[in-house]
Amino acid sequence: MRTTSSYLAAIAAAATAVSANPGAAKSLKDIKHLVFFMQENRGFDHYYGTMAGVRGFADPNAPITENGLTTFQQPLNPPVNGSSILTPWYINYAGGDYYNATQCMDAGSNSWVAMHGAWSNGDYNNWTHADTLYSMAYFTRKELRTQFDIMDSFTILDMNHQSIMGPTDPNRCMWMTGSVNSPGSPSNPDSDGGAMLDNTIAPGCDITYPVDANCFPFQWKTFPEYLQDAGISWQVYQDVDNFEDNPLAYFEQYLYAANGSALKERGDSYLGLQAFYKAAAEGTLPAVSWIIGAAELSEHPPNRPVDGAWLQQQVVQAVVDSPLYNETVLVISYDEQGGWFDHVPPVVAPKGTPGEWLIDPYTSSDPDYYTALGPGPRVPRCIVSAYTRGGNVFTELTDHTSDIMFAEAWAAAQGYEGVYSQEITPWRRATMSNLVNAFDWENTDDATA
């Protein structure tokens, strides 16, 4: 197990006291509560490239690009200060006031255009041109003490990717619905509706040529509706200041749901995070929870990682201190990388795969120019539970649909039928892990340091 801080030791001690209970789970069937918590706009290398044991800056298998350099060596053209190559650089190299100032630092753009530009049709050697030189900056444990502590105490996923090469909203749609309604996908098999590709939310279609895109309100089925149909309790916990990060609010069935209805009260109301903390403490959590934090605590630049660390600490502590800890799984993730560099190219579907390739409405005027929908760069993900403790690294390929597929596997283990998102493409199902192999039911780690 990795070195612990006083905060981590406190979590470990509390977790040990609960996980030593003879009522500890022996299989997924014994888990009764799932909690999904998503933060904003941080890349894997940007946060955890220096962490020991993960596929970070010490990666001996860094991909080689077409120019013969590794993906760590991004070309500069024209050269800057006499250098034609930029490698990842420590954000606080100058020390002093930088430690405070860089907490608010922005990388550049997280747009569809910037992300596809960095991907560069798979060459992955265009980060400095598609985004900014700041995108190559990274933090260390010194700046991210709490984030590192949580990952050190539980299981970090080092092959986890954002679902879409684009910004927040489409990635959060994938997180809670398994789809962005891309042409040829299960939610849009006839390519009649527009795909959700950007953060533009306004009535009608934001783009109509060469294809429709961002057509609000959305209408396909969301994953919470599958839970509702099966009789499984669920709740979105959010405050009024939710950074507009709840994708359910953009769907017709939630927008027009009657006051007092399940979709309105569970999916588009404002109970506040205090309600989550209270339910965790009292042992009254629903079967499935989603947590959406406030803008200032989201870690989205210029909001500070140190403030997001406080929120993460509150959520983790609520789960670990809960009498339900032995039967609860918390997954912490980030929606997309916010423009920050990552050195591992995403695995994309073969060209032409239905629902995974589409006519690009942003980067070309050619109506026949197709591009991959995603996945995008790696983003952090962590599984917090009594059965994923000990500073483990889970290396199976994952993205935001993995949370849904994990919930499906969990529901099946509970004996529920029909909890199976029809919206996820066959390629994602065949390619992305459902997280089940991350759990060790027989050897729960009760060490405190």
- Structural contact between residues 444 and 386, judged by C-beta atoms closer than 8 angstroms: yes
Fold of 6-44+143-438: Alkaline Phosphatase, subunit A (3.40.720)
Judged by DSSP in three states, 69 sits in: coil
Average pLDDT over residues 412-435: 98
Average pLDDT, the chain: 93
Question: The tokens of 92 are what?
Answer: 């606080």
Residue 446 banded pLDDT, cuts 50, 70, 90: very low
Distances (CA, A) of 288 to 63, 143, 158, 171, 214: 38, 32, 24, 20, 28
> Can you say how many angstroms the Cα of residue 389 is from the centroid of all Cα atoms in its chain?
20
| pLDDT reading at 8 higher than 90 | no
Rounded Cα gap, residues 266 and 231, in angstroms: 13
Residue 9 banded pLDDT, cuts 50, 70, 90: low
Rounded Cα gap, residues 138 and 44, in angstroms: 9
Rounded Cα gap, residues 308 and 293, in angstroms: 9
249 by Cβ neighbours in 10 Å (0-12 / 13-18 / 19+) ranks as middle
H/E stretch holding 406: helix 401-413
Kindly give, in sequence order, each residue whose CB lies less than 8 Å from that of residue 447, ignoring residues fewer than 6 positions away.
1, 12, 16, 390
pLDDT at 201: 78
Q: For residue range 104-158, what is the model confidence (pLDDT) as tens digits?
A: 999 999 999 999 999 999 999 999 999 999 999 999 999 999 999 999 999 999 9
Rg (CA), the chain: 21
Q: For residue range 48-81, what is the model confidence (pLDDT) as tens digits?
A: 999 999 999 999 999 999 999 999 999 999 999 9
Q: What single DSSP character describes residue 185?
A: S
pLDDT at 448: 36
Q: Looking at the DSSP assignment, which residues form a beta bridge with residue 6?
A: none
Hey, how many other C-beta atoms are within 10 angstroms of the C-beta on 425?
Answer: 22
Question: The tokens of 227 are what?
Answer: 């839970």
Q: Looking at the DSSP assignment, which residues form a beta bridge with residue 292?
A: 238
The ranges assigned to domains in the chain are: 6-44+143-438
50 versus 193: the higher-pLDDT residue is 50
What is the bridge-based pairing of β-strands 213-216 and 234-238?
A: unpaired
| pLDDT reading at 288 higher than 80 | yes
- Structural contact between residues 292 and 246, judged by C-beta atoms closer than 8 angstroms: yes
| Percentage of the chain lying above the pLDDT 70 cut | 93
329 by Cβ neighbours in 10 Å (0-12 / 13-18 / 19+) ranks as buried
| pLDDT reading at 364 higher than 80 | no
Residue 7 banded pLDDT, cuts 50, 70, 90: low
Residue 4 banded pLDDT, cuts 50, 70, 90: very low
